[in-house]
Chain A
Amino acid sequence: MAGIIALTMPKFGLAMTEGKVASWTIPEGAMVEVGQEIADIETTKITNGYESPIKGMLRRHVAAEQQELPVGALIAVIADASVPDSDIDAFIVAFEAEFASGHTQEQAEAVPEPLSVDVDGRAIRYLENGREHAGRPIVLIHGFGGDLNNWMFTQPGLAEDHWVIALDLPGHGGSSKDVGAGDLAALSAVVAGLLTTLDIPQAHLVGHSLGGAVALRMALDTPDRVASLSLISPASFGDEIDGSFITGFIAAGRRKELQPVLQKLFKNKSLVSRDMADDLLKYKRLDGVAAALGTVAAANFANGRQQEILHGRLAELSGLPVQIIWGDADEIIPVGHVKNLPAGIVMHVLADAGHMPQMEKAAEVNRLIADLVATGGARS
């Protein structure tokens, strides 16, 4: 049954085992383009748009709206209009029989697990995929209070064509809670140290928020190691920041205190689920996290102002492909304070996105990163 394409339940993040189609945005029988959003997929943690991986006619919604399905289960079928309905029916029956037998299920579960490596005396956790692709890796650096799961929509998409590594900064996720001075110099030295440990001379850096400032600082300190810079809602472009986010994040000990703080991160407040808050509370309860967050906050955001402004040093990056990506509804770091960018640095402002455009506008962000990586490939 050539020409029939199975669309399956995607896996968003390490912990996702099942999800449901919250709603179909494209009806049966309609033509879809590559990258066109065709459904909203809901998990206990988050809801995200599902994009068609292929151009064609959306012949069948296999998943009913609100039906819980395991990762890898068939949700829809794309095929040319000429394929008879009976072939589609047979395809669905065959796929589901094979899936039920556990064969494809095992494939869906064969996703990489995070690894931990010693970097200059600190355990650093990272998740690597797409290792089979040639070229320099893309390294994803999260922001304050985040971890590698912040890239749950970024990493799988980019890994289809690229080697991608997401790490947990010190004090965050599954990495050592020893942050040293906790400033940009200390954090960027750890990122550089991880690349050295993994025997990676040069990488494309993608940094979000504080992680953006870390990436920028690394490009300034060790320009030879950076092939391109994609900075998403980055810190260090001005001194403004919503200090109440930082203090609120540190202080919150209960879900109902943390949820309103997390809602500041998103334009669409309903993305902040109970599970998202619970996971962060579990992280905040780990030994050493309170001290680590306090040190990082004091070093970078004392008194509700950003402490290290690198904006004036952008000209030093001449020749390096650099782009900046920002949500127009960012409540944490205002997009408006980015002014006077040197020629050659492109600023992309995405509509209807808050401080986490890589989650709210994942497809656009992935495309922008892939495009810049393609241009940065020429650098050596």
Chain B
Amino acid sequence: MSKKSYRAAINEALRQEMRRDPTIVLMGEDIAGGAGAPGEQDAWGGVLGVTKGLLGEFGRERIIDTPLSESAYIGAAAGAAATGLRPVAELMFVDFVGVCFDQIFNQAAKFRYMFGGNARTPLVIRAMYGAGFRAASQHSQCLYPLFTHIPGLKVVLPSSAYEAKGLLIQSIRDDDPVIFLENKVQYDEVEEVPDEAYTIPFGEANLTREGRDVTIVAFGRMVKIANEAADRLEKQGISCTVLDPRTVSPLDTNTILECVEETGRLVIIDEASPRCNMATDVSALVAQEAFGALKAPIRMVCPPHVPVPFAPNLEDLYVPNADRVEAAVRAVMGFKAKELA
């Protein structure tokens, strides 16, 4: 056990799994160091250095720099997965998924079903998501609701370094296509991460704290923000449960419903655009299955329905923060149903 960054935890998961299983290959743009370029090799390790150091150990046969063509290499990775390899493809910014929708949504996600259960597609697509990186609207989206919408894909949102390592190893060992989304603002966040390999099962929410008054469901990076708000609220005498679903597909609906039944109040914090995101999905679930347990209306803390602003002051206003979560929790605590006439 030692302190590792979110970036180092992901790198270690890849390294340990590649040592264990020779069928694992990595594919992506600049993940090695620039194919064919003279001079220093392994200079980049991907655009933010996550795969740095792997080329030296595993070589170009397994750390494959691709052309700048997501359509080509995501499709190649899906085909390789269906025919015996276990590829981990790096899509860089998840915003680039638009040019390979068909390869993911119509091909990889469907193989198991279209071939009567005879095909398996052990493919992992890693990509960065999230705002706050001053990278403008084409490099800052969340987009996990898009993948969640497609049956046949598993969608993973690690909220910390510990979670990232265990969930990535689980993703690599899974026999279905997995979309593994890394929040780029979190790469330098550090916590205790075991040196050994370990797995965290899909579809099992993690309660980072348990309280009496309000359930806060938070996704990815927002888990940290929810805990920050819950720390403050604790001092004001309001005790919160913070629920990290870990995976949005599959979604641990049982634990969400149990927590809401215990607290009677629900606040959801989701960094994805507010229409048809995870917050609306969880709201619908709770409204349908646990309406009787609710003591107040559900509150969603989401960004506004606009492209992520490039102006830093506007971007800071865009991303949900602990102040907004705190205000939402106080609002549901203060809710009084209208007196019957």
Chain A positions within 8 Å of B200 at CB level: 285
- Are B1 and A286 neighbours in the complex by a CB distance under 8 Å? no
Out of B162, B196, B201, which one reaches A287, CB within 8 Å? B196
Closest Cβ–Cβ distance, residue B13 to chain A (whole Å): 12
B95-132 toward A: CB 8 Å interface, digit per residue (1/0)?
00000000000000000000000000000000000000
Closest Cβ–Cβ distance, residue A356 to chain B (whole Å): 22
Most chain B beta carbons < 10 A, residue from A15, A253, A255, A285? A285
Nearest A residue to B204, CB-CB: A254
Out of A253, A255, A286, which one reaches B196, CB within 8 Å? A286
Chain B positions within 8 Å of A253 at CB level: 201, 204
- Are A255 and B207 neighbours in the complex by a CB distance under 8 Å? yes
Taken together as a complex, chains A and B put the C-alpha atoms of A254 and B210 apart, in Å, by: 14
Taken together as a complex, chains A and B put the C-alpha atoms of A370 and B196 apart, in Å, by: 36
8 A Cβ contacts from A247-277 to B:
253-255, 274
Out of A254, A255, A287, which one reaches B199, CB within 8 Å? A287
Chain A positions within 8 Å of B162 at CB level: 282
A238 interfacial by beta-carbon distance below 8 Å = no
Closest Cβ–Cβ distance, residue B250 to chain A (whole Å): 15
Closest Cβ–Cβ distance, residue B9 to chain A (whole Å): 13
- Are B210 and A286 neighbours in the complex by a CB distance under 8 Å? no
Taken together as a complex, chains A and B put the C-alpha atoms of A15 and B196 apart, in Å, by: 18
A174 interfacial by beta-carbon distance below 8 Å = yes
- Are B198 and A285 neighbours in the complex by a CB distance under 8 Å? yes
Taken together as a complex, chains A and B put the C-alpha atoms of A287 and B204 apart, in Å, by: 18
Closest Cβ–Cβ distance, residue B212 to chain A (whole Å): 15
| Majority SS at the chain B contact face | loop
Q: What's the tally of chain B residues with a CB closer than 8 Å to chain A? A: 14
Chain B positions within 8 Å of A274 at CB level: 210
B194 interfacial by beta-carbon distance below 8 Å = yes
B197 interfacial by beta-carbon distance below 8 Å = yes
Chain A positions within 8 Å of B194 at CB level: 282, 286
Chain A positions within 8 Å of B197 at CB level: 286-287
Chain A positions within 8 Å of B198 at CB level: 282, 285-287
Nearest B residue to A116, CB-CB: B195
Nearest A residue to B207, CB-CB: A255
Nearest A residue to B162, CB-CB: A282
Out of B1, B192, B199, B210, which one reaches A174, CB within 8 Å? B1
Closest Cβ–Cβ distance, residue A321 to chain B (whole Å): 36
Taken together as a complex, chains A and B put the C-alpha atoms of A286 and B169 apart, in Å, by: 11
Chain A interface category by residue count: 10 to 19
Closest Cβ–Cβ distance, residue A257 to chain B (whole Å): 11
Closest Cβ–Cβ distance, residue B131 to chain A (whole Å): 30
Chain A positions within 8 Å of B210 at CB level: 274
Chain A positions within 8 Å of B199 at CB level: 285, 287
B166 interfacial by beta-carbon distance below 8 Å = yes
Closest Cβ–Cβ distance, residue A20 to chain B (whole Å): 14
Closest Cβ–Cβ distance, residue A148 to chain B (whole Å): 12
Chain A positions within 8 Å of B207 at CB level: 255
B123-165 toward A: CB 8 Å interface, digit per residue (1/0)?
0000000000000000000000000000000000000001000
Taken together as a complex, chains A and B put the C-alpha atoms of A282 and B196 apart, in Å, by: 11
- Are A285 and B204 neighbours in the complex by a CB distance under 8 Å? no
Taken together as a complex, chains A and B put the C-alpha atoms of A282 and B192 apart, in Å, by: 11
Chain B positions within 8 Å of A254 at CB level: 204
Closest Cβ–Cβ distance, residue A80 to chain B (whole Å): 39
Most chain A beta carbons < 10 A, residue from B196, B197, B200, B204? B196
Chain A positions within 8 Å of B1 at CB level: 174
Taken together as a complex, chains A and B put the C-alpha atoms of A274 and B211 apart, in Å, by: 12
Taken together as a complex, chains A and B put the C-alpha atoms of A286 and B200 apart, in Å, by: 9
A1-25 toward B: CB 8 Å interface, digit per residue (1/0)?
0000000000000010000000000
8 A Cβ contacts from A282-329 to B:
282, 285-287
Closest Cβ–Cβ distance, residue B228 to chain A (whole Å): 17
Closest Cβ–Cβ distance, residue B206 to chain A (whole Å): 9
Closest Cβ–Cβ distance, residue A115 to chain B (whole Å): 13
Chain B positions within 8 Å of A15 at CB level: 192
Closest Cβ–Cβ distance, residue A281 to chain B (whole Å): 9
Nearest A residue to B197, CB-CB: A287
Chain B positions within 8 Å of A286 at CB level: 194, 196-198
Nearest A residue to B200, CB-CB: A285
Nearest A residue to B193, CB-CB: A282
Chain B positions within 8 Å of A174 at CB level: 1, 196
Closest Cβ–Cβ distance, residue A375 to chain B (whole Å): 37
Closest Cβ–Cβ distance, residue A47 to chain B (whole Å): 18
Chain A positions within 8 Å of B166 at CB level: 285
Taken together as a complex, chains A and B put the C-alpha atoms of A285 and B169 apart, in Å, by: 11
Additional pairs, 7, CB under 8 Å, beyond known A15-B192, A282-B198:
A285-B166, A285-B198, A286-B194, A286-B197, A287-B196, A287-B198, A287-B199
Interface positions of A (Cβ within 8 A of B):
15, 174, 253-255, 274, 282, 285-287
Please name 12 pairs of A and B residues whose Cβ atoms are closer than 8 Å in the assembled complex, sorted by A.
Answer: A15-B192, A174-B1, A253-B201, A254-B204, A274-B210, A282-B162, A282-B194, A282-B198, A285-B198, A286-B194, A286-B198, A287-B199
| Pairs of residues from A and B, 7 with the lowest C-beta to C-beta distance, nearest first | A285-B198, A287-B197, A286-B198, A286-B196, A285-B199, A285-B166, A285-B200
